[in-house]
Chains A and B, each alone.
Chain A
Amino acid sequence: MITESTRIKMRELAGRYPNPRSALLPMLHLVQAEQDEVTTEGIAACAQELEITQAEVTAVATFYTMYKHSPVGKHHIGVCINTLCGLLGGDAVYDRVAERLGATHNGPSADGNFWLERIECQAACTHAPVMTVDWEFMDDVTPQSAVDVIDKLAAGEEVWSTRGPMIRDFQATEHTLAMAEDDLATIGNCVDEKMLAGLKIAKSGAQQ
């Protein structure tokens, strides 16, 4: 249920922009953060707060692929299948993950705890093949390492993003996307060897 405290957050988001309607995308993220999907109730709340029609909100909510219209479950799993990741092994990763979850593209796992999606380029091609868990990077995966991650998540074990914090859950990430401070900016390593590849050569003096 969309509570009064959620509506207060919606109004706070709307207040950040010269025109309140600009807050619609973060507000829809907030709805997913609270309800695990973009619900009819959430659409109505956005419409009411922004004084626009529900049809206008629905038009936006159905345009953007990150908004889901049935419950995502605890974790969203994305596997990049765009050309570079896919051909470098993402296709095999996707097949194994789909098999493990008993899920098809853009749908829930057999147990309803996961959501699987063939995702497009995630801006991490240097780390191909790329998987995401609740949109946090899982770089350089193999079919086996991807399934290992899912097994750990299913068992409630701790899993860390390869370039980011410990995995929380889908709704927690959606709170981050609704621009709520998550206090995780200082947690986890965001810069890895691949990001330092050129710098290392430059600093080693190897190119003198």
Chain B
Amino acid sequence: MKLTPVITEHWDDPELYTLDGYKSHGGYEALAKALTSDPDSIIATVKDSGLRGRGGAGFPTGLKWSFVPQNDGKPHYLVVNADESEPGACKDIPIMMANPHALLEGVIISSFAIRANHAFIYIRGEVPAAIRKVAFAVKQAREAGLIGKNIQGSGFDLEVTVHAGAGAYICGEETALLDSLEGYRGQPRLKPPFPAVAGLYASPTVINNVETIANIPYIIDRGVDWFRQFGTEKSPGFKVFAVSGHVQRPGIYEAPLGITMRELLDFAGGMRPGAELKFWLPGGSSVPMLTADHLDLPLTYEAMVEAGSMLGTGTPMIFDQTVSVVKAVTRWLEFYKHESCGKCTPCREGTYWITGVLEKFEHGNGTTGEMETLTTLCGQIAGRSFCALGDAAATPYPAAIKYFSDEFTAATHTSADEQFDPVASYVFSGVRA
């Protein structure tokens, strides 16, 4: 399968981030088209396109939009989830840095469709490089009359507010993001009610990922048939894949959904010299790891689930034979423990206990019985917390033990660093701290 740059097509134009640069490649033509159509027809188009959320869950975008009650007399809001913090995910931040107007044009069209007059772009605080590009795009768009009152004579008003977070992975969870955006601790809400009915300020709200929204202008401009020529029936379209890890050329590779990891790996130059693939994760640390046996599966939402994993954010992390699975999993759990918001007991306490037991294994002090304990602990977290962070924390260990139980058994007497020299995993050579 070939690479098909769409969102990334003009990233080699250093002026793309400016309004003029974006317009020189046909930017904002989709908006002009959208503003003369019926908002419901835009929702229908997005529904027909089959576009699925690119933030990880893969929920159909048009369907999400259609849940927003119309003529309800309440203000509606669009909130862009630009809190990209999933370990391994690095595609939304590059999109905002290179092509912020694609996001912004998508924001205006999407807001028009769901009848929102105020949109928020919630960007994680740790990336001023992305925040200032998006803020600059909003400023230029406002000056050009693309944001504000009566946009291009359509009678449609839209305010766009760029908002910086302050360091909390949990705010990538949509209801935690809403609490954070309302000025509270970012803690998930119980659903229902879903945000489409009672979201920001208890008003109907659509929350979409950056890449999802950046798809909208292209779908509106080029149509459903064009979009559906990429991907599969259940996973239509293209994806900004970000390949990282022990490959020759880590980077951004945009391709149709359904491309295989083997093909992506080839584009990325293969494994680094002398390296063999040991395990990989299709999209973030919250999806179960896979092995070389899964390289020929199509990267689609459905095929990844069938293989026992998930497409997630579509940002594969590749690890070679130098990496200790015990160490990798322990580090991810330390992350979940750190980022658990503390609201739900199974997640708050469970991530603490799992991490403690895993650290014993990392130091070569685990016991066979504790392998069972870990399985039990994971089972007691999954499905027992408000949001998916708990489920995610219960994911790495069961996947790891499925393929690499030997390593955990070895970790009952030999530490991870003795099993695998950490220096061998470094991407620079000959350095010991």
B partners with A: yes
Q: B253 on the interface (CB 8 Å rule)?
A: yes
Contact in complex: A120, B335 (CB < 8 Å): yes
Q: Is B144 an interface residue (CB 8 A)?
A: no
- The CA-CA distance from A83 to B93 in the complex, in Å, is 19
In the assembled complex, A176 has its CB within 8 A of some CB on chain B? yes
B131 in complex: contacting residue of A142, A177, A197, CB < 8 Å: A177
Binds A, one of B107-115, B401-409, B419-427: B419-427
Q: Is B219 part of the binding interface, using a Cβ–Cβ cutoff of 8 Å?
A: no
- Which of these binds chain B: A1-9, A59-67, A108-116? A59-67
The minimal Cβ–Cβ distance linking A102 to chain B, given in whole angstroms, is 15
Task: Establish whether residues A173 and B86, one from each chain, have CB atoms under 8 Å apart when the complex forms.
Answer: no
Q: Output the least CB separation between A201 and chain B (Å).
A: 6
Choice from A120, A125, A143, A198 contacting B267 with Cβ under 8 Å: A198
Interface centre among B129, B244, B245, B428 (most CB of A within 10 A): B129
Question: Which chain A residues numbered 173 to 208 have a C-beta less than 8 Å away from chain B?
Answer: 173, 176-179, 181-182, 184-186, 189-191, 193-203, 207
Contact of B98 among A16, A125, A195 (CB under 8 A): A195
Closest to B165 in A: A25
Say yes or no: is B379 at the interface (Cβ < 8 Å to chain A).
Answer: no
Shortest Cβ distance from B343 into chain A, in angstroms? 11
Q: Given A21-B182, A135-B126, A202-B4 in contact, is the A128-B252 Cβ separation under 8 Å?
A: no
Question: Chain A nearest CB: distance from B237 CB in Å?
Answer: 16
Q: Name the distance in Å between B97's Cβ and chain A's nearest Cβ.
A: 4
In contact, B251 and A126 (Cβ under 8 angstroms): yes
A199 and B11 form a contact (CB under 8 A): yes
For the complex formed, measure the closest distance between the CB of B28 and the CB atoms of chain A, giving whole angstroms.
Answer: 19
Cβ contact of B323, chosen from A21, A87, A143, A176, cutoff 8 A? A87
- B285 CB contacts on chain A under 8 angstroms: 82-83
Q: How far is the CA of A203 from the CA of B185 in the complex (A)?
A: 46
- A179 near B162 with CB under 8 A, answer yes
Residues of chain B with a CB closer than 8 A to A185's CB: 17, 132-133, 135-136
Residues of A within 8 A of B184 (CB): 21, 60
Residues of A within 8 A of B93 (CB): 123-124
Bound Cα distance from A67 to B18, whole angstroms: 32
Contact B251 A197 (CB under 8 A): yes
Say yes or no: B331 contacts A60, CB within 8 Å: no
Residue pair A88, B245 in contact (C-beta under 8 Å): yes
Of the residues A67, A92, A199, contact of B166 by C-beta under 8 Å: A67
Which chain B residues (9-35) contact chain A, with CB distance < 8 Å? 9, 11-12, 14, 17-18
Within 8 A of A (CB), among B361-407: none
Which A residues between 85 and 117 are near B, CB-CB below 8 angstroms? 86-89, 91-96, 99
B75 touches A (CB below 8 Å):
yes
- Indicate if the CB atoms of A121 and B182 lie closer than 8 Å: no
Most buried by A among B18, B85, B125, B319: B125
In the bound complex, residues from chain B placing their C-beta under 8 Å from that of A195 are: 8, 11, 94, 97-98, 251-252
User: Is residue A11 contacting chain B, with contact meaning CB distance below 8 A?
Assistant: no
Task: Please tell me if the beta carbons of B317 and A66 are within 8 angstroms of each other in the complex.
Answer: no
The residue from A88, A119, A186 contacting B427, defined by CB atoms under 8 A apart:
A88
| Interface presence of A74 (CB below 8 A) | no
Q: Are A163 and B167 in contact (CB under 8 A)?
A: no
The 7 residue pairs across chains A and B that have the minimum distance between CB atoms:
A197-B251, A185-B136, A198-B253, A64-B166, A24-B183, A66-B167, A95-B433
